[in-house]
Amino acid sequence: MNYNVTIDMEGRGEFSNYIYQKLEQCKEGYPNYLAKNKESVHPINMMVSNEEQKWMGGISSELYWNWLEINDCWVYEQYRGQGIGTELLRTVENMARKRGADYSMLTTFEQRTKKFYVANGYKVVGEIKDYFPGTNFYTLKKTL
């Protein structure tokens, strides 16, 4: 069999869209939960604002099947240590639990962030050492 390999180091383009569409078509043929429930992903996003309606922080997450996935949780430095992040996390976890989530998961590569999540009941279930030099990449999970 003869074939050619082409390399694109410039970024996402027409071929990336093509691959994504082909993978989506493959999923349609799978007799599994993902194929039958592609529309089951629901975002849960919360923003915190001060009196001047300026954002102080927020959380971005998705609820799918029986999982909550925390994508991003961030609070401005000057508002940290006041319980805002913890309140955001607990609120999104409670919302997800009421909608059928049994577990929550997230990834991070910051030690300070990892400590925050561990203090809030998450356990490290995966670690890649030197994800980039001097920094580890963590996957954390919590039973809701």
pLDDT tens per residue across span 90-119: 999 999 999 999 999 999 998 889 999 999
Using pLDDT thresholds of 50, 70 and 90, give the confidence band for residue 130.
very high
CB 88, CB 58: distance < 8 Å: yes
- 4-54 residue pLDDT tens: 776 766 766 777 778 778 877 776 666 555 545 556 788 999 999 999 998
**DSSP structural state of residue 81:** T
pLDDT at 34: 52
Spell out the long-range contacts of 80-86 with Cβ–Cβ below 8 A and sequence spacing 24 or more.
84/48, 84/56, 84/57, 85/57, 85/116, 86/120
**If you write DSSP's letter for every residue of 98-113 in order, what string do you get?**
HTT--EEEEEE--HHH
